[in-house]
């Protein structure tokens, strides 16, 4: 039953660290971590804002996962271990989803980046585009 308790515990640690890095602004768009929606991926600023907003609920999700894992380890019966682990995972996923929704909404509120002047992005290919 120790393996069952380790699922929310390890998941909580990983999610909590990811939330902390997002809150600190240390996640980059070119990696596979953080809130990755159409709104957050449209600019570096939107990505930073979305992940900063999502950081607190994501860290809370990590705490819930770790608490669920520790509670599962402390349970005297297999049923208690399973229930504590399930509640830990459900709480982790719920808060993680809430953080993602909040981060997406915050990123959507960031103004669109200004289009570059001179065609497609300043590559000096002319007004006709690259082609």
Its pTM stands at: 0.83
For the chain, how many residues are written? 131
> Could you report the per-residue pLDDT of 88-112, keeping only the tens digit for each?
999 999 999 999 999 999 999 999 8
Contact 6, 74 (CB under 8 A): no
> Could you report the per-residue pLDDT of 32-79, keeping only the tens digit for each?
789 999 999 999 999 999 999 999 999 999 999 999 999 999 999 999
The H-or-E segment that residue 95 falls in is helix 78-109
Question: 118 falls in which pLDDT band (50, 70, 90)?
Answer: low
Closest CA to 58 of 32, 33, 38, 83: 33
85/77 Cα distance (integer angstroms): 12
């Amino acid at each position: 039953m120790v393996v069952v308790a380790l699922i929310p515990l390890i998941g909580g640690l990983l999610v909590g660290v990811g939330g902390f890095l997002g809150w600190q602004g240390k996640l980059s768009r070119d990696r596979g971590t953080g809130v990755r929606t159409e709104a957050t991926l449209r600019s570096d600023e939107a990505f930073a804002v979305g992940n900063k907003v999502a950081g607190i609920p994501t860290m809370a999700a990590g705490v819930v996962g770790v608490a669920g894992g520790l509670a599962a380890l402390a349970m005297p019966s297999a049923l208690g271990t399973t229930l504590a682990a399930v509640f830990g995972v459900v709480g982790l996923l719920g808060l993680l989803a809430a953080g993602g929704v909040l981060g997406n909404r915050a990123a959507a509120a960031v103004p669109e980046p200004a289009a570059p002047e001179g065609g497609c992005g300043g590559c000096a290919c002319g007004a006709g585009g690259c082609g």
